[in-house]
C-alpha cells in the first residue's frame, strides 16, 4: 500500500490512537475522527491493566498515567473466598492521561461524529457531521456500539453488557489489593480498585448495574463521597474483522477477554497486527494473523464462560472452593492476559475431577447451552 494512501480511523480512544501511532511509524499519515470534544473523556473503563500493557507493546508507552501498582486480589463468591497475591501484577491508570498521551502527534478531528459510509470505485466516502472525507482504508475503532461495524455490515454475533463505576473518596487498609466479588463466575462481577490516593473505584458488570452496585457498596462498606460516575458497554462475542478495505479493531471488533471483559491489551496487540497488515499491503491477512495469535485462547475462554454460566449455584460454589484450594498453583501459572492458564493450574487438585463430572452432566442435560456452543463455533 502506498504511503500516500488515505486512512481514516473512526475513534480516538486508546486503540484507535495506538493504531494511528503504529501507522505513523510505518510512514502513513492517518486521520482520526473523534465524536467527543476531548480525547480521554468520558471515561468508560475500570482502568486496571496488566503490566504487559507497558512491557509487551511494539511501541513503548509512557508510564505517566500509572497511579498505583497492584499486588493481588481478594476474590469471593457466595461466601467462598480466597486471596491471590502476585507482585506488580497490574497497574491502575488514569484513562484520561493514558488516552491523551497516545493521541499526541496525531491528526485528530474532534467533535466529528461518523454518520455513514459509501463507496465510489476504489474510494470510501466517510460521512460526518463536519463534512465528508475520502479514504482508501477505513478503520472502525469506535467502541462496543461501532457504527462502522453496522454501516459496513460486518458479520457479528455479540452481546453488550452494562458496566457502571463510581469513584469514591475512601481510604482502604491495603492500597495494593483489589476486591473482586463474583455474581456469576467468570462473567458477571463487582470490583473495588484502589487508586492509591484516597480514592477507590467501585464498579459492577451485571444485568442490573445500578441496583447491583448500590448493594455491593453497602454490603462491602465502600461508602463515601462519590466524586465521579462512569458507565460503559462491554461487547462479548465475535465479529468479522475485515471487509474489502474496511477493518475493525478494539472493542468495535470484540477484542475483549471473555472471562474478565478487559480489552486494552488485546486491543493494543490487535492494532499491531492490523497496522502490520496495512503496511504489507495485505489487509486481509489481519484477520488470519489475529486468529493465529488469539483464536485458541478466545475459544477456550468462551467455553469456560458459557459452561460456568450454565451451572447451578451450588456446583459453582464447590468449584470456586477448589479454585481457592489451588491458589498456590494459580499464582505460579496463571497469566493476567491469558485466562485459560488458570484452568490448567487447578488440574493438579484431585477434588476438581468429581466436580468436573458433575459439570459435564449438567452441560449435557442443557440442550440450549450445547446449541449455543455450536452456534459460536
Residue 335 pLDDT > 70: no
Residue in 375, 311, 9, 367 with CA at minimum distance from that of residue 158:
375
- Per-residue pLDDT tens for 202-211? 999 999 999 9
Nearest to 256 by CA among 305, 199, 315, 324: 305
- As given in the structure block, the three cell numbers for residue 6 are 488515505
CATH placement of domain 7-71+89-158+239-295: 3.50.50.60
**Common-topology check for domains 7-71+89-158+239-295 and 160-234:** no
pLDDT at 270: 98
Cα distance between the two ends of the chain: 33
Q: Is the pLDDT of residue 374 over 90?
A: no
Question: Can you tell me the distance from the alpha carbon of 42 to that of 59, in angstroms, rounded to the nearest whole number?
Answer: 25
Report domain extents, the chain: 7-71+89-158+239-295, 160-234, 300-376
- Chain-centroid distance, C-alpha 291: 17
pLDDT, one tens digit per residue, over 40-56 is 999 888 899 999 999 99
Q: Say if CB 159 and CB 234 are below 8 A apart.
A: no
Q: What is the pLDDT of residues 61-111, one digit of tens each?
A: 999 999 999 999 999 999 889 998 888 999 999 999 999 999 999 999 999
Cell 460521512 belongs to 127
pLDDT above 80: residue 124: yes
DSSP strand pairing (80-93 vs 66-77): antiparallel
Report the alpha-carbon distance of residue 78 to residue 55 in Å, rounded: 36
Q: What is the mean pLDDT of residues 256-275?
A: 93
pTM of the model: 0.90
CATH topology of domain 160-234: D-Amino Acid Oxidase; Chain A, domain 2 (3.30.9)
Query: Mean pLDDT, to the nearest integer, of 179-206?
Result: 95
Amino acid at each position: 500500500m502506498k504511503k500516500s494512501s488515505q486512512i481514516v480511523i473512526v475513534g480516538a480512544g486508546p486503540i484507535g490512537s495506538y493504531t494511528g501511532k503504529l501507522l505513523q511509524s510505518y510512514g502513513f499519515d492517518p486521520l482520526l475522527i473523534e465524536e467527543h470534544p476531548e480525547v480521554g473523556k468520558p471515561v468508560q473503563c475500570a482502568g486496571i491493566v496488566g503490566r504487559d500493557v507497558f512491557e509487551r507493546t511494539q511501541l513503548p508507552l509512557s508510564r505517566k498515567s500509572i497511579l498505583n501498582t497492584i499486588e493481588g486480589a481478594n476474590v469471593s463468591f457466595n461466601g467462598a473466598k480466597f486471596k491471590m497475591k502476585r507482585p506488580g501484577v497490574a497497574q491502575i491508570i488514569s484513562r484520561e492521561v493514558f488516552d491523551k498521551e497516545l493521541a499526541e502527534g496525531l491528526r485528530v478531528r474532534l467533535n466529528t461524529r461518523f454518520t455513514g459510509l459509501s463507496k465510489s470505485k476504489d474510494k470510501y466516502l466517510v460521512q460526518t457531521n463536519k463534512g465528508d472525507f475520502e479514504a482508501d482504508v477505513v478503520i472502525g475503532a469506535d467502541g462496543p456500539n461501532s457504527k462502522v461495524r453496522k454501516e459496513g455490515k460486518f458479520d457479528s454475533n455479540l452481546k453488550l453488557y452494562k458496566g457502571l463505576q463510581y469513584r469514591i473518596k475512601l481510604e482502604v487498609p491495603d492500597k495494593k489489593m483489589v476486591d473482586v466479588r463474583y455474581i456469576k463466575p467468570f462473567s458477571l462481577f463487582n470490583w473495588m480498585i484502589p487508586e492509591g490516593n484516597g480514592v477507590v473505584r467501585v464498579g459492577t458488570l451485571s444485568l442490573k448495574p445500578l441496583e447491583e452496585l448500590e448493594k455491593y457498596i453497602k454490603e462491602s462498606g465502600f461508602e463515601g463521597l462519590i466524586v465521579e460516575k462512569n458507565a460503559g458497554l462491554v461487547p462479548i462475542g465475535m465479529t468479522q474483522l475485515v471487509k474489502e478495505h474496511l477493518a475493525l479493531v478494539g472493542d468495535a471488533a470484540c477484542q475483549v477477554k471473555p472471562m474478565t471483559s478487559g480489552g486494552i491489551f488485546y486491543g493494543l496487540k490487535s492494532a499491531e497486527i492490523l497496522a502490520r497488515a496495512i503496511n504489507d499491503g495485505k489487509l486481509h491477512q489481519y484477520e488470519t494473523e489475529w486468529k493465529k495469535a488469539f483464536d485458541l485462547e478466545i475459544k477456550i475462554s468462551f467455553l469456560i464462560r458459557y459452561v460456568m454460566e450454565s451451572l447451578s449455584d451450588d456446583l459453582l460454589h464447590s468449584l470456586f472452593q477448589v479454585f481457592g484450594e489451588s491458589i498456590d498453583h494459580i499464582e505460579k501459572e496463571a497469566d493476567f492476559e491469558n485466562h485459560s492458564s488458570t484452568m490448567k493450574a487447578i488440574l493438579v487438585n484431585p477434588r476438581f475431577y468429581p466436580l468436573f463430572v458433575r459439570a459435564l452432566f449438567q452441560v449435557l442435560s442443557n440442550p440450549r447451552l450445547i446449541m449455543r456452543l455450536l452456534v459460536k463455533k
